[in-house]
Amino acid sequence: MASILKSLRLAADPNRLRLLLLLEREELSVAELQEILGKGQSQVSTSLALLKSAGLVKDRRTGKNSFYRLKAPAQLMELLRDAAREVPETADDRQALRLVLRKRQDSMRRYFDELAGKFGRQYVPGRSWKGIAEALLKLMPPMVIADLGAGEGTISQLMAQRARRVIAIDNSEKMVEFGSELARKHNIANLEYRLGDLEDVPIRAGAVDLAFLSQALHHASHPERAVAEAWRILKPGGRIAVLDLNRHRFEEARELYADLWLGFTELEMEHYLKAAGFKNVETAIVHKETEAPYLETMLAVGEK
């Protein structure tokens, strides 16, 4: 049995305490623990090695990966659960663990990631992404939609084919003028452009069925306010859909695209939506670029 004194000294470090509490809930790999804790591989591996030498965790090798599980006595874990109240990060760890486990279990998503990589490489008569998008749009029920940060309104115009009404919001006068002209040119009568900001949307409360933000949130000075505004304008039972970049390190995006934020983690996005009042929140990585800078697209949805 591990020395109680040595165990307590090791667990007094907040990061090692967090590791033990996570491994009490689930067997995890080093990579998964890195993702949950937001720590580097070296730091996580060093902590695990210390805990293993003290007999508090054990590992299992599977292919190239090592999975760690808890071995600490129940009496020690009871003390650590009480001590966890002094480590505020443990609450976030539980939510991050849930996201990691969802990714692990989502074999269907991995399958479609592989399928997407093959799509279009071989000619199949009549098959195209545009055709699929058009078909899905036709299946969408008629709704009032707010396209927040709409830009020139390409997506707004697509959604207007089926929506009862689309209100496209952008803070650029030129974008609003350009989009409005296109709507007039193509006789899209149910599409209206309005000049406005993501954090102060010119739409009355409870007016729309769907709030849609596509690659817009990383331009908001205060993303949490933009999400709160989306909640405000939605009817009860309305939904939010956010397509944005997963957290990345492509600093050039600030200069090239005027990005204020280098994407968001799934946990951050979930926090924004839940803090605004959304329920049934789900997030997923829905696209991964195959060329540098290898940006990833995240989808987040929630219900008012």
* pLDDT one-digit tens code per residue, 63-114: 778 899 999 988 889 889 998 889 999 989 999 999 888 877 665 456 556 6
Neighbours of 204 (CB within 10 A): 9
Assign 36 a pLDDT band (cuts: 50, 70, 90).
very high
* 116 within a domain of the structure (yes/no): no
148 with 86, same domain?
Answer: no
Task: Give the total number of structural domains in the chain.
Answer: 2
136 with 205, same domain?
Answer: yes
Mean pLDDT computed over 285-301: 93
195 with 286, same domain?
Answer: yes
Find the CATH number of the domain harbouring 220. 3.40.50.150
Mean pLDDT of the chain: 89
Mean pLDDT computed over 212-230: 96
Distance, CA of 72 to CA of 242 (rounded, Å):
41
64 with 13, same domain?
Answer: yes
Answer for the pair 34, 44: CB distance below 8 angstroms, yes or no.
Answer: yes
**This model's pTM is above 0.75:** no
Could you list the residue range(s) of the whole structural domain that residue 86 is in?
4-105
Which of 51, 72, 105 terminates a domain? The answer is: 105
Instruction: Report pLDDT for 109.
Output: 59
* 169 within a domain of the structure (yes/no): yes
Q: Which residue type is seen at 222?
A: H
* 112 within a domain of the structure (yes/no): no
For 126-175, how does the pLDDT look when each residue is reduced to its tens digit (9 = 90+)?
Answer: 666 677 777 877 788 899 999 999 988 889 998 998 899 999 999 999 99
145 with 236, same domain?
Answer: yes
Task: Kindly state the helix (H) or strand (E) to which residue 298 belongs, with its residue range.
Answer: strand 296-303
* 176 within a domain of the structure (yes/no): yes
